[in-house]
């Protein structure tokens, strides 16, 4: 026999990985099983990507590898797994590219999807590719529009004129969170505030349920907090203030009704409709100037110089609902029109902002809550904590909690107020003035000036936006018209307004106009997890059976950047669908995990401009898909933010190659020694537990320990490596399949039962224990776990290195924790 023949073969990743990927494709290894009901299921979901032109980024495979490991692990545990992938493919970049080059967004999208699919396939993920969905596919859009209509029919989708962030350069409205310092987050174009007709989603109707049902899900603590904060429920009171000399009144919202007696002035938001009505002639000019200046500034600008308080007196006075005294009414932009009632009662003694404002404009400050019941005038700073009511007449002496209650009762009896709950959460601006989104399936009657006119040829007409008509479900999907010019233009109606043949149509001799706004990118991602259960269904969005088979999502993995918006919008739609009976659980995502961001080698966020982007194609080519997968899992805890280091990849490459050649050296006749057997069982146990708790880095480390041990053996028994092949396979599936095949198996290991362990082999009867003297390790002993305290003491004192420190001293205390530690306290 030649030396070459006995030399273990090298692991040629390019050839082996391509071969197994082909095998999985040809054998449909990962097609989703038909559910019979007798086996448990797991729905393992990744946040699907936006297929950008830049292709996959090393950040993507991090979460995808984590879910793939669990999907493969659960299959091997006899669980039916749904593990799909798709594309969140509407969005601004494709449209921007279309504007620049004239290439249709559908063409760009298709090309990008192909790149993403090829790249994901090259990583060996066990997705069921027959379930792929694409949010831009008319067969998908159809059902997004269908869900919109359900919301519309329930009165949850409505039109309103709202002051929005209009970006003329992008020709679209941006969400507050998409605007940074008066510029658009994408492209840095200037943004202005203008009132526009918009489609809104009444998410506020679901505020309490969105808040309460967070108790039903297993999500990261921080994400739950962020959602709660975003909803921002706050309990307080609505209080009515009359306006002196008129019949008019206004409501304020306060969380501190107990401080009402200390109210020395009121403040209206500049946008408040009463401002124009109550301002006196002398103050008119100043107020108008102030209000118009405030309205032209963005929310962000208005809040950026929050420290400096500005405002103008209206000349009008409000009547205090309890004392009947008159307090001045001011206008100031620290009061937000969009929150509460857009008006506040100012209690400078007990609110920091009111205090600053009162100081600036020399308004009176009264103490009505005291920390100790005594009086402290003048007050040096606002006392905002709970205390005891003072200077409050009949309420004096009450605690803050008692006083709140008493004040609300008093107000109610006077018909001047009531308990009230307010939310920070606002309704969702749902329309976009863009081309590349789902058309909103609504149309409006058109009134022609000349009854024989044709709106398509520009004859004068009026669109009756207040009479929206839903497109009939049978006509869905309402497709986008083909355009060649995607430029946004001046018209806030968006590019679709130019497709006049599409926009205007006749029915029964009357003209109608389609809605030219489109849906936001969130729409498609709000319900894709439902479509994955039944992606090809052409009669319903998903069948009841498909829903029952797979919902809810058991594990959802994605970036923390979606902690609020995507997850909140998605939960909102889900709850609406729940109320309509289309889904059966109130919450869609049971367990949520955020993978941490992967930074560049320089420790900065990866970005093209920094030039620190790592392309997964390059890593796969150099080291192989299994190496990339294992490296990303070995880098550190999944949730942690961590820097990429290409030099570290060689560690997992060596591990893979050592494992490969150790297995190939196996001897089927050899029997495991006791030490090997114990370590194998412990390794299987630890890897199993670590996968379940998603501690992939320590699972890999344990397998490395085991492989290192195999290298100390002169012969490696086959029985010592078979379980190893199985437990490494979720991490390195190509390696697993190759070795499973080379150890005489003709079938894929994808459904091979997961190895078990013998607990008895995982515990030692005799352990090495450290012996401490005054907390410092001074020696080691071998001791039975069952040893008595007396045996332990004798053994410990017999150790020479220990005796050196106890010599001539008295043992004041003897600490013995069996199997853990011995500590001699001497003095």
Query: Based on CB atoms, which residue is closest to RNA, 561 or 692?
Result: 561
Binding flag, residue 727, RNA (CB under 7 A): no
Stretch that binds RNA, among 29-37, 149-157, 451-459, 644-652 (CB under 7 A): 644-652
Q: Is 635 in the site for RNA (CB under 7 A)?
A: yes
Q: CA torsion angle for 488, 489, 492, 497 (degrees, to 10)?
A: -80
Q: Between residue 605 and residue 624, which ones bind RNA under the rule CB under 7 A?
A: 605
Q: For the chain, how long is the longest CA-to-CA vector?
A: 117
> What residues have CB less than 8 Å from 625, skipping those under 6 apart?
13, 17, 122, 123, 124, 734
In the complex, the smallest distance separating the C-beta of residue 771 from RNA, rounded to whole angstroms, is 9
CA distance 189 to 827: 74
What's the DSSP call for residue 437?
S
Site string for RNA, 301-340 (x = CB under 7 A): -xx-xx--xx----------------------xxxx--xx
Distance in Å, CB of 335 to RNA, minimum: 4
Which of 445, 637 has the CB closer to RNA? 637
Shortest distance, position 597 Cβ to RNA, whole Å: 7
CA-to-CA separations, 507 to 62, 145, 444, 510, in angstroms, rounded: 53, 21, 12, 5
Between residue 743 and residue 772, which ones bind RNA under the rule CB under 7 A?
A: 768-770, 772
Angle, CA of 439, 440 and 444, to the nearest 5°: 115
Q: Which member of 637, 677, 713, 752 binds RNA (CB under 7 A)?
A: 637
Q: Rule CB under 7 A: say whether 642 interacts with RNA.
A: yes
Q: Does 742 bind RNA (CB under 7 A)?
A: no
Q: Give Cβ neighbours of residue 271 (< 8 Å, ≥ 6 apart).
A: 163, 291, 294, 295, 337, 342
Q: Of 135, 159, 170, 393, which is closest to residue 261 (Cα–Cα)?
A: 393
203 vs 700 by CB, closer to RNA: 700
Does the bond joining 404 to the residue before it have cis omega, within 30 degrees of 0?
Answer: no
From 55, 232, 315, 453, residue interacting with RNA (rule: CB under 7 A): 232
Per-residue interface string for the shown chain with RNA, residues 202-221, x marking contact by CB under 7 A: -------------------x
- CA–CA gap between residue 46 and residue 65 (Å, rounded): 10
Q: For residue 781, give the nearest of 772, 22, 138 by alpha carbon.
A: 772
Minimum CB separation of residue 687 from RNA in Å reads: 13
Distance CA 407, CA 386 (A): 15
Out of 83, 256, 434, 656, the only residue in the binding site for RNA (CB under 7 A) is 256
How far apart (Å, rounded) are the C-alpha atoms in residues 380 and 385? 15
Decide whether 169 or 640 has the Cβ nearer to RNA.
640
Find the binding residues for RNA in span 141-200 (CB under 7 A): 176-177
Determine which residue in the list 424, 456, 682, 745 makes contact with RNA, applying CB under 7 A.
Answer: 424
Nearer to RNA, 408 or 749 (CB): 408
Q: Compute how many residues bind RNA; rule: CB under 7 A.
A: 86
Q: Report 334-393 residues binding RNA (CB under 7 A).
A: 334-336, 339-342, 344, 351, 353
Contact 517, 432 (CB under 8 A): yes
- Minimum CB separation of residue 472 from RNA in Å reads 39
Residues numbered 62-121 forming contacts with RNA, rule: CB under 7 A: none
Bridge partners (DSSP) listed for residue 234: 422
Count of Cβ atoms closer than 10 Å to residue 660 Cβ: 22
Of 55-63, 454-462, 502-510, 690-698, which part binds RNA (CB under 7 A)? Answer: 690-698
Structure tokens at 269: 């938001």
Round to whole Å and give the CA distance between 572 and 55: 31
Footprint on residues 648-687 left by RNA (CB under 7 A): 648, 650-652, 654-655, 657-658
Nearer to RNA, 409 or 473 (CB): 409
Nearest Cα neighbor of 495 from 379, 503, 614, 214 is: 503
Stretches 62-70, 241-249, 251-259, 716-724: which one binds RNA (CB under 7 A)? 251-259
What is the distance between the alpha carbons of residues 533 and 86, in angstroms, rounded to a whole number?
12
Q: Judge whether 200 and 160 are in contact, CB under 8 Å.
A: yes
- Of 234 and 615, which has the nearer Cβ to RNA? 234
Closest separation between CB of residue 531 and RNA, Å? 28
Closest listed residue to residue 333, CA positions, set 267, 273, 275: 267
Please report where in the chains the tokens 């039916």 appear, as a residue: 80
| 226 interacts with RNA by CB under 7 A | yes
700 is a contact residue toward RNA (CB under 7 A): yes
Give the integer Cα–Cα distance in Å for 716 and 673.
Answer: 10
Smallest distance from the beta carbon of 195 to RNA, in angstroms? 19
Q: Which is nearer to RNA, 19 or 780 (CB)?
A: 780
Residues 782-821 that bind RNA (CB under 7 A): 801, 804, 813, 815, 817, 820-821
Nearer to RNA, 579 or 639 (CB): 639
Least distance from C-beta 825 to RNA, angstroms? 5
Nearer to RNA, 126 or 223 (CB): 223
Token look-up 């208005």 returns 302
Alpha-carbon distance of 798 to 598, in angstroms, equals: 53
Q: Check residue 777 for interaction with RNA (CB under 7 A).
A: yes
Query: Minimum distance between the CB of residue 346 and RNA, rounded to whole angstroms?
Result: 8
For residues 547-566, which are near RNA according to CB under 7 A?
A: 560-561, 564
Q: Is 264 in the site for RNA (CB under 7 A)?
A: no
Sign of CA dihedral 548, 549, 554, 559: negative
The answer to whether 98 and 437 have CB atoms below 8 angstroms apart is no
Asked whether the bond before 378 is cis by omega within 30 degrees of 0, the reply is yes
Nearer to RNA, 391 or 698 (CB): 698
User: Does the footprint of RNA cover residue 540 (CB under 7 A)?
Assistant: no
The distance of Cα 222 from the centroid of its chain, to the nearest Å, equals 11
CB of 577 to RNA, least distance (A): 27
Residue 511 CB neighbour total at 10 angstroms: 20
Spatial contact of 697 and 634, defined as CB atoms under 8 Å apart: yes
Residue found under tokens 């408040």: 272
Min dist CB 364 to RNA, Å, is 17
Q: Least distance (Å) from RNA to the CB of residue 166?
A: 19
Measured from the CB atom, the residue of 485 and 791 that comes closer to RNA is: 791
Secondary structure letter of residue 792 according to DSSP: H
Indicate which single residue of 102, 222, 245, 397 sits in contact with RNA (rule: CB under 7 A). 222
* Shortest Cβ 302–RNA spacing (Å): 5
Tell the smallest beta-carbon distance from residue 149 to RNA (Å).
31
């Amino acid at each position: 026999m030649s030396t070459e023949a006995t030399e273990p073969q090298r692991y040629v990743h390019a050839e082996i990985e391509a071969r197994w990927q082909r095998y999985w494709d040809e054998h449909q290894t990962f097609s989703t099983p038909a559910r019979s009901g007798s086996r448990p299921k797991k729905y393992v979901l990744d946040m699907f990507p936006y297929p950008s032109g830049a292709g996959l980024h090393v950040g993507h495979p991090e979460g995808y590898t984590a879910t793939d490991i669990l999907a493969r692990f659960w299959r091997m545990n006899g669980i039916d797994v749904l593990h799909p992938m798709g594309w969140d493919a509407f969005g601004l970049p494709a449209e921007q590219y279309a504007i620049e080059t004239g290439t249709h967004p559908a063409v760009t999208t298709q090309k990008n999807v192909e790149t993403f699919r090829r790249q994901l396939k090259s990583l060996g993920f066990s997705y069921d590719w027959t379930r792929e969905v694409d949010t831009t596919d008319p067969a998908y859009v159809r059902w997004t529009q269908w869900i919109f209509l359900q919301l519309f029919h329930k009165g949850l989708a409505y039109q309103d004129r709202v002051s929005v962030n209009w970006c003329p350069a992008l020709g679209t409205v941006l969400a507050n969170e998409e605007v940074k310092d008066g510029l658009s987050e994408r492209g840095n174009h200037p943004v202005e505030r203008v009132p526009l007709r918009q489609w809104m989603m009444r998410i506020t109707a679901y505020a309490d349920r969105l808040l309460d049902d967070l108790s039903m899900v297993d999500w990261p603590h921080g994400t739950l907090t962020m959602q709660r904060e975003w909803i921002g429920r706050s309990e307080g009171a609505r209080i009515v203030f009359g306006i002196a000399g008129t019949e008019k009144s206004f409501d304020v919202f306060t969380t501190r009704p107990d401080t009402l007696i200390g109210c020395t002035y009121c403040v209206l938001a500049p946008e408040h409709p009463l401002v124009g009505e109550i301002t006196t002639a002398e103050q008119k000019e100043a107020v108008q100037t102030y209000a118009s200046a405030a309205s032209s500034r963005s929310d962000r600008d208005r809040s950026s110089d929050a420290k400096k308080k500005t405002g103008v007196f209206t000349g009008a006075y409000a009547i205090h609902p309890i004392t009947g005294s008159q307090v001045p009414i001011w206008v100031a932009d620290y009061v937000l029109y969009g929150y509460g009632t857009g008006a506040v009662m100012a209690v400078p003694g007990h609110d920091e902002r009111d205090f600053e404002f009162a100081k600036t404009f020399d308004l009176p400050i009264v103490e009505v809550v005291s920390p100790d019941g005594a009086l402290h005038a003048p007050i040096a700073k606002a006392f905002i904590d709970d205390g005891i009511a003072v200077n409050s007449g009949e309420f004096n002496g009450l605690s803050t909690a008692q006083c709140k209650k008493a004040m609300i009762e008093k107000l109610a009896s006077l018909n001047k107020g009531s308990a009230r709950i307010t939310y920070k959460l606002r309704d969702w601006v749902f329309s976009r003035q863009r081309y590349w989104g789902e058309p909103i399936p609504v149309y409006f009657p058109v009134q022609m000036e000349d009854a024989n006119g044709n709106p398509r040829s520009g004859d004068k007409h009026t669109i009756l936006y207040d009479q929206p008509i839903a497109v009939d479900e049978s006509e869905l999907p309402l497709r986008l018209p083909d355009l060649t010019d995607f430029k946004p233009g001046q018209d806030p109606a968006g590019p679709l307004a130019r497709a006049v043949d599409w926009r205007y149509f006749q029915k029964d001799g009357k003209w109608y106009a389609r809605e030219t706004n489109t849906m936001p990118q969130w729409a498609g991602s709000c319900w894709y997890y439902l479509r994955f259960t039944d992606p090809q269904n052409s009669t319903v969005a998903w069948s009841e059976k498909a829903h029952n088979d797979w919902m809810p999502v058991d594990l959802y993995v994605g970036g923390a950047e979606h902690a609020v918006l995507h997850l909140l919008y998605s939960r909102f739609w889900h709850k609406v669908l729940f109320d309509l009976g289309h889904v059966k659980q109130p919450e869609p995502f049971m367990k949520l995990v955020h993978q941490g961001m992967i930074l560049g080698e320089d420790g900065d966020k990866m970005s093209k401009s920094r030039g620190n982007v790592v392309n997964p194609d390059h890593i796969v080519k150099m080291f192989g898909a299994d190496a990339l997968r294992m490296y990303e899992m070995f880098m550190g805890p999944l949730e942690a933010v961590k820097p990429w280091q290409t030099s570290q990849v060689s560690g997992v490459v060596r591990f893979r190659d050592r494992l490969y050649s150790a297995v190939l050296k196996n001897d089927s006749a050899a029997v495991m020694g006791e030490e090997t057997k114990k370590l194998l069982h412990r390794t299987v146990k630890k890897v199993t537990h670590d996968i379940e708790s998603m501690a992939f880095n320590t699972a890999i480390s344990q397998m490395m320990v085991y492989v290192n041990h195999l290298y100390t053996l002169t012969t490696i028994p086959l029985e010592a490596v078979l379980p190893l092949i199985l437990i490494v396979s979720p991490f390195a599936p190509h390696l697993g399949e190759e070795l499973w095949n080379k150890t005489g198996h003709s079938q894929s290991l994808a459904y091979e039962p997961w190895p078990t362990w013998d607990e008895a082999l995982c515990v030692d009867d005799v352990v090495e224990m450290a012996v401490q003297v005054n907390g410092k390790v001074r020696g080691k002993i071998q001791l039975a776990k069952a040893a008595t305290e007396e045996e332990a003491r004798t053994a410990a004192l017999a150790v020479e290195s220990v005796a050196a420190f106890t010599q001539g001293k008295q043992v004041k205390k003897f600490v013995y924790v069996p199997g853990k530690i011995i500590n001699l306290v001497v003095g």
